[in-house]
Structure 1
Amino acid sequence: MSKLLPYVCPKWAQNLNHIPKYRIQVRKLEFLMADAVSRKCGHVITCGGVQSNHCRATAVAARQLQLQPHLLLRTDVQDQSKIGSEGNLLLDRLCGSNMYIVPRKSPYETELKPRMETLAKKLREETGKEAYLVPVGGSNSVGLFGYITVFEELISQGLFDQFDDIVFACGSGGTAAGLAISNHLTGSRIRCHAIIVCDDKAYFTDHINQTLCSVGLDTVHCQDILDIIEGHKGRGYGLSTSEELEFIMNVSQQSGIMLDPVYSGKAARGLMEELRSNPDRFQGNRILFLHTGGVFGMYDGSLDSVVKAETKDLVHMWPSIDSSPE
C-alpha cells in the first residue's frame, strides 16, 4: 500500500490487504470495487460514452467479483438494434452488462447521476440488493487513490531523477487529481500537465478543487498544482478528425505504440503541438507521457478508413505458390 495513502486515504482503503482476492489491479477501480464489496453491494452502476473504457473495465471487474454491472451509455443512436458489439461494447456484452442508452449530451450532475440513483432504487426494490454508484470515469475521492499508487510506482521507477514534466490525457479528472495531489504531497519539482479531451478548463478546475476539499486539502488549489491544457479535444469527446486518426496511424508505424482515438491519441497529439507552439510551458525537455490505456476503443471502427487507405499498398495477393506476390 502506498506510503502516501495515510495522509488522505479512508481507513477502509488503508486496510485492503484483508481481502487480497479482491485486489483488482485497474487503478481507480481497485479502490472503488473494494468499497463496493465492503458495503456488500450486489450491483454496480456507472456511466460514460458508448465506447467508454471505464464502463468496460467496470463491467469486467464487477463480474470478477460476482457483481451485476449496469452501464449508462451516452450516444446519439436512438435505435436499440443499432447498438453494436464492436470495441468496448463487445466486452460489455460478453460480461452480460445491462446497458441503458441515454442521449450523448446528458450532463452527469443533472441527468446521469439522477438516473443512476433512480436505477439503484429500482434494483433495491426488485432484488433486495444495494447498488454501488461509480461516477463517470470513477473520478471521485475514492477512485483518487488509484493514481496516488501510480505516482508511487513512478517514483520507484525514477520519476524524480529522469523527468522534469509528466503529461497525460484528462477525460474525467480522476487521473489528473490523483497525480497532481501526489506530486504536491511529495514536494516534487515535477510539473503535471493534463491535456483535456472533453469539457473545458473551468470544468476540470472546479472538479479537482472539489476533490481536494473532499480529502481535506482545502488550502490547496488546482491552479497551483496542475497545468490544464485546452485546445486539443478536436470535434469533441469521442469524435475524431482525419488529422487525429492519421497521427495515430503515424505513431504506430514509427514506434509500435498504439494510441486510442478518444484519450491517448488526442493527448499525445496535443503534446506534440504544445512542444511546437508553446514549449516554455514545460520545465525541461525530459517529458514523460503517461499512456493510460484505451486499446479496446481502437476497435470501434473509427480507424478503419484511415488504416485501409494508408496500408492499401501493403496488402499483396499471392494466389499460387508458382507465382510471385502481386
Structure 2
Amino acid sequence: MKLPKSLSLANLPTKIEKLERLSKSLGDLEIYVKRDDQTGTEVSGNKVRKLEFAVQEALNQGCDYLITCGGIQSNHARATAAVAAKLGMGAYLVLKGNSDEEIDGNYFLDKILGANIHFITLEEYMEKRGMIMEEIKESLAVKGHKAYILPEGASNGIGTFGYYKAMEEILHQEKEMGIHFDAIVTTVGSGGTYAGLFYANKINKSNADIYGINIAGDADYFKKRINELLQEAAMYTGKEIQYTQEELRIIDGYVGDGYALSRPEELIFIQQMAQLEGIILDPVYTAKAMYGLVEEIRKGTFKDYKKLLFIHTGGIFSLFSSRNQFY
C-alpha cells in the first residue's frame, strides 16, 4: 500500500532491546522495548513520526506556520516547535497553564525554539481550543501567513501514518532478530499511535495483538476516537480494514489521579525502572503505561503471550519539571 508523502525528520529505525531483568522478575514472558524515545533530541519521542506526515501535508498546502495545542509540558508542542524551527516555519502553541509557571522542561525548550505561546485555562482548553486555534490562524492570515492546525498529539488521519510506518519498521526488525511479538503495547493519550499500529497490523496481516493503556479519559472514549482515526486514515489510502470492537484492546484503570498527575507508586516505579534497566520513563505517559503493563502481567492478563513489545514514546524533558516530587 502506498503511503502519503512524508518528511524525513526522525532518527530511524529506532532500536529494539530486551528488558532482561524486568522479564526475569515477571516469569516466562520476554519483554522488549522499542526506543522511540531516541527518535532525536529536540524532536525526541513518538510525536515526530506523526509530524513527518502532517507537516509534509502542511507544506503541500503552502503553509508557513504550524499551530497546535497541549499541556504546558506537552512533548508534541515541543516537537512541533522544533520541527517548525528546523524547516524555517513559525510555530504557535496553545497551552494549558499560565505564564507564571516555572520555565522548565518542554516549556523551556518551547521558548528556546522561538515558539509563540498562548496560554488558556483548563476550561478553555476542554471546550474552546479548536476555536482558539482557528482564531489564531485567522489573525496570522491577516498578516500574510498561511497556518496549518495540528490537533492534540498530531493525532489525525494523516498523522496516523507515522505509526503505520513504525509498525512496518517493527515487522522488518522482527525478521532481522528472528522473533515475533505476540503483543505490542503503547501508551494512549490521543489515539494516533495506537491507530497507526493497529491499521498497519491489519493491512500487513500480522497476528500481533495491539494493546493500549490510556493515561487520560477512559477506554470507551479512546475506542471511539481510534475508530474515527482509522476512518480518516482510510480516506488517504482507499483501504478500509475489517475489525471488531473487541480487537481494540484498551486497558483502563491506570489514569491514576488524572492526566499529568502522578501518584507516589508511579514516581517510585520511574526510579525502579531507571535502576533496574537504565531506562528513564516520563511521569505523564510512559510511567503510567509501563506501570499498568507490569501490574496486568502480574494479574495474568498476558499469560498467553511469550514475547511482548512496549513502545517507549519518550517524554524525558517533562521529567525535569517534576523533580521536586521525587526527593
User: Which of the five TM-score ranges fits, normalised by the shorter chain?
Assistant: 0.7 to 0.9
What's the CA shift for 1:221? Answer: 4.4
Aligned to 1:158: 174
Q: For 2:179, what is the secondary structure of its paired residue?
A: helix
Matches within 5 A, 1:285-304: 285-300=306-321, 302-304=322-324
Question: Could you list the runs of 4 or more consecutive aligned residues of structure 1 that deviate by over 6 angstroms after TM superposition?
Answer: none
Q: Is residue 223 of structure 2 the alignment partner of residue 202 of structure 1?
A: no
What's the CA shift for 1:155? Answer: 0.8
The residue type equivalent to 1:304 in the other structure is N
The residue type equivalent to 1:61 in the other structure is V
Instruction: Choose from 238, 243, 247 the match for 2:265.
Output: 243
What's the CA shift for 1:211? Answer: 1.5
Aligned to 2:55: 33
Instruction: Choose from 105, 115, 123 the match for 1:97.
Output: 115
Q: Could you give the per-residue CA deviations for residues 294-321 of structure 1, whole angstroms, max 9, x where no partner exists?
A: 1111111x23342x3xxxxxxxxxxxxx
Aligned to 2:8: 23
> If the length of structure 2 is used for normalisation, what is the TM-score?
0.82
Q: Is residue 162 of structure 2 the alignment partner of residue 146 of structure 1?
A: yes
Distance 2:242 2:89 in 1: 37
- Structure number with greater CO (CA < 8 Å, separation at least 6) is 2
Aligned to 2:77: 55
Q: Any conservation in 2 of the 1:166–1:192 contact (CA below 8 Å)?
A: yes
Q: Is residue 267 of structure 2 the alignment partner of residue 256 of structure 1?
A: no
What's the CA shift for 1:184? Answer: 1.0
Distance 1:222 1:296, change over 3 A: farther
The residue type equivalent to 2:67 in the other structure is I
Q: For 1:59, what is the secondary structure of its paired residue?
A: helix
Aligned to 2:128: 111
Distance 1:178 1:294 in 2: 19
Q: Any conservation in 2 of the 1:147–1:179 contact (CA below 8 Å)?
A: yes
Matches within 5 A, 1:188-227: 188-216=206-234, 220-221=242-243, 223-227=245-249
Distance 1:161 1:226, change over 3 A: farther
Q: For 1:169, what is the secondary structure of its paired residue?
A: strand
Q: Any conservation in 2 of the 1:209–1:222 contact (CA below 8 Å)?
A: no
Which deviates further from its counterpart, 233-242 or 282-291?
A: 282-291
Structure 2, unmatched stretches of 5+, are 11-47
Q: Is residue 202 of structure 2 the alignment partner of residue 184 of structure 1?
A: yes
Structure whose CA Rg is larger: 1
Distance 1:235 1:176 in 2: 23
Q: For 1:101, what is the secondary structure of its paired residue?
A: strand
Aligned identity (percent) is 38
Which deviates further from its counterpart, 93-102 or 223-232?
A: 223-232
Q: Any conservation in 1 of the 2:286–2:312 contact (CA below 8 Å)?
A: yes
Structure 1, unmatched stretches of 5+, are 17-21, 309-326
Q: Any conservation in 2 of the 1:197–1:236 contact (CA below 8 Å)?
A: yes
Distance 1:244 1:280 in 2: 20
How many matched pairs? 284
Q: For 1:192, what is the secondary structure of its paired residue?
A: strand
The residue type equivalent to 2:140 in the other structure is L
Distance 2:83 2:248 in 1: 30
What's the CA shift for 1:46? Answer: 0.2
